[in-house]
Structure 1
């Protein structure tokens, strides 16, 4: 064609690139893209989506992301097909967090989801988790619930991320009771689907905002009983609550101190130590008796001896 001065157009280039990708030669397709651009032709979203998808399928995720960034840099706005290829590729590559970020960047989330469904790109629980997270983060709870129902209809089971995202979306929409119902459903699932500290914090925050502090305490008790330790966010939620919702307000020292004691009684030393660290950072020191227990547990004779020896070796 070229020798006969018959100039290839976008369709020609797209057909060749598509053929190369189907042959498992996505990198050769990228070379054709470079040649196309050197001849003054500008690749469209269709060509980019073929190459991005092909590179991911061949395990060349770095090259796929590089091509994605080049496309954005050149001002070629990705359509739903390109977004679908990128999200699917990132999920297959074991990078759900990056896939979530990409989904949340899309201003056409509903169209994107439909495109993914129509092209059978949603192939596992991770993909569904990404889509549900994206909808909930964008405040589209109805759309998230629609994806949630379709996931079950297709025989997929939600993981802890999907459950937590859905509960978060429901709570943000003021549907806390529905969030709690979903949480109770989690408790009956397999061990890998059990709520983690993130799930608990979502519900604790929602309950405290509703001023139903007694229910939040009950949930915290359940959290401890099930072996899930509080973290910094858990502490912040209750510190804000006792400082703003109680009359008279409290600084939270007594509450956190009691939490430390309860963790120690359960032999959860690491969890108790983390709460003590939070208390010290917020200038809420534990009581003398609690502090004594912390020191006794953490400062075992061998550990103290090792620390002293290290100090001496550093000095001399």
Structure 2
């Protein structure tokens, strides 16, 4: 039996929707064009048809074509609905055409189509991603005026945006308001705030947010715990970190490699190597195998305590546990050997690293140069430095590398060579720091008029940095001069004020003036 099913706009929309749901966006648009061009088919598109086609076009990034389709709707006797506007706004926002999306919000209200929370959330999300929080706040105000209450998505989006901009106090305040308004934050929101607080050096505040999170029935994941444990150790709050660890174990939250590594790294930073070793043993006994970062933390810790023998044992344990050494592990070992004056061992490790196909990073290079300079092989150190200049970005010399060589050259009384290196440093965009200044001040103290020589040298350095538009670095050198009672020349002060008083730098200028007057 043959069924002659009537082809209607409903069946047409169903086929369109199937194409879109299956991700066959181009076929959906081709199908629409084919049906619209067919004179034998008496199908007039309705609002749903337009919504589906606009959605398909936006998915392909054809936003301008979607706008054309949107403008065609009235000519087809179709009135755009809230879904039409939301879809088009979302497409515009994804193309970073937020101003056009905001104009569309005004247009829809004029046309009598009232926006919902979803509509506003599309715009708020786009503005927060752009970092335009003030404009996002205005959209929220507009939302209230239109009788739309912010929902979980609104709050979560705003909190995430505030955290990205480092406005943690406002994020926490908004979190509290969210709870008062009976909108429940999700795990991601709590995690975002906690990680943001940890990054700002406020792990203790992050721990308080964790308590509030758990009181409201949420469970923190391993990444939140590792972030807090690591942050508390970095802030010197080892007792709080261990309390958090114990609390996590009491809750039967099984720590993974990330949390264990954070704990071991923190204990090593505190110099508690025996506790770190016990944590490593426990970790392995529970079937959680340490990685290169875990072992690297232990090696670094033992070197810091002057125990190179134990550091080597950790290195060997890595091999026994089939944990592959990486560039960082090699750098830690080379740095440790050079610091202990064991240049031959460092050189052997350097050759071993190269033979394994690993490329030294800036830490490995700087450590090796330091070791060579300490062994009176400054020439070899310079040779290695010139090799660095030809390497990829992660191995380019930094201010520490330059300071090592500048110090070595000045100790050899190779002042002209040191000045040339300083010039090269400035030309390559690496700015001197407090250590650089002290190296040259110490060298110049044996001159006939040391204060004047030191003042002139640093004064010239400030001017050169300002001429290169490196105002922040110049300010740091100025601070050194003021602390050393070597005030810059009046002409230099004038240049500093001129640079700082450019647009966006007025507040910096005021802060610097305050600092020089009262500090």
TM-score (normalizing by structure 2): 0.42
Aligned residue in 2 for 1:147: 349
Name which of 450, 459, 480 aligns with 1:278. Answer: 480
Structure 2: distance between partners of 1:195 and 1:129: 15
Matches within 5 A, 1:270-309: 270-300=472-502, 304=506
Which whole-Å deviations, capped at 9, do the CAs of 1:249-275 have from their partners, x for residues lacking one?
Answer: 444000000111111122222211211
Deviation at 1:59, TM superposition (A): 4.7
Structure 1: 5+ residue stretches without partners: 1-54, 312-316
**Pair 271,70 (structure 1): closer, same or farther in 2 beyond 3 Å:** closer
Alignment counterpart, residue 100 of structure 1, candidates 300, 324, 329? 300
Contact 2:273 2:298 in 1 (8 A): no
Q: CA deviation at 1:295?
A: 1.3
- Structure 2 CA distance, aligned partners of 1:305 and 1:64? 42
State the distance in 2 between where 1:265 and 1:136 align: 38
Please tell me the root mean square deviation across aligned C-alpha atoms, in Å: 3.5
Gaps of 5+ in 2: 1-254, 515-519
Indicate how the Cα distance of structure 1 residues 304 and 108 shifts in structure 2: closer, same or farther if over 3 A, else same. closer
Q: Which has the higher relative contact order, 1 or 2, with Cα contacts under 8 A spaced 6 or more apart?
A: 1
> How far, CA to CA, are the matches of 1:66 and 1:274 in structure 2?
31
Contact 2:343 2:372 in 1 (8 A): yes
CA contact (8 A) 2:299 2:314 kept: no
1:239 — aligned with what?
Answer: 441
Cα pair distance change 1:286/1:143, threshold 3 Å: same
**Contact 1:256–1:279 (CA under 8 A) maintained in structure 2:** yes
User: 1:102 and 1:238, CA in 2 relative to 1: closer, same or farther beyond 3 A?
Assistant: same
- The yes-or-no answer on 1:61 pairing with 2:261 is yes
- Report what 2:371 is aligned to: 169
Instruction: Report how many residues are paired.
Output: 245
- Larger mean CA deviation between 213-222 and 56-65 belongs to 56-65
For the pair shown, the structure with the greater C-alpha radius of gyration is 2
1:133 offset after TM fit, Å? 0.6
1:37 counterpart residue number: none
**Distance in 2 (alpha carbons) for counterparts of 1:178 and 1:110:** 27
Which residue pairs with 1:17 in the alignment?
A: none
What's the offset of the Cα at 1:110? 7.9
Contact 1:260 1:276 in 2 (8 A): yes
